[in-house]
Amino acid sequence: MLGLLRSLLLLCTIQLGFGNLSGQNISKASKALSTMEVSVHRSGCYGECPSYNLKVLSSGRIVYKGLSSVPNLGSHSFKLLPKDVEPLFREVYRQGFFTLRGSYANVRDGCTSLSSDSPSIYITVIHGSKKGTVRHYLGCEFGNSRMNHELARLSKIESSIDRLVVKLIGPLPDK
């Protein structure tokens, strides 16, 4: 009986230790997000594809330049609360941006299905001493199963960017 109690006590101690460690990891992640910067260039197409440049700082400062097919053309600056831009940074972190390949744009990159006249999205993330850029030609729709998984992760980051842009300037055209 005493051995069972010791085992339970040890198990509880281990679980509590990992619980505290998890809390520390969450707070480290939040602190790490406070030094992140995301820049985006979304290219146009022959139709009504929204085209813009966007730079989002963890301080909440945003620089936006509408290029074509967006409600607000030209350069604009915004200041949001850091908590309002944090969902974007959390998505970048959650989806492992720095583990994605640099390009999802053509057959050489592994695209097995390409459509023409689609825009590209270039996302650059700076996080401490790390810097990475990913190009996604939106006409690159399918690849092997690994690439499809990566495209799904990248799509979640792109959706988070779109939600922030819509919050700033209003709805974007569908394409």
Q: Are residues 14 and 83 in the same domain?
A: no
Residue 11 lies in a domain: yes
Residue 175 lies in a domain: no
For residue range 116-136, list pLDDT tens digits in order. 899 999 999 999 999 999 999
Task: Please enumerate, as own/partner, the contacts of 129-133 that have beta carbons within 8 Å and a separation of 24 or more.
Answer: 130/98, 132/97, 132/98, 132/100, 132/102, 133/102
Q: Are residues 22 and 69 in the same domain?
A: no
Average the pLDDT over 35-63 and give the result: 94
Place of tokens 């707070």: 27
The reported pTM is: 0.80
* Average pLDDT, rounded, for the chain: 83
Is pLDDT above 50 for 142? Answer: yes
Q: Per the structure, how many domains does the chain have?
A: 2
Distance CA 8, CA 165 (A): 51
- Predicted pLDDT at 172: 82
Structure token digits, residue 58: 């963890």
Q: Are residues 161 and 136 in the same domain?
A: yes
Is pLDDT above 90 for 22? Answer: no
Q: Which residues constitute the domain of residue 29?
A: 1-33
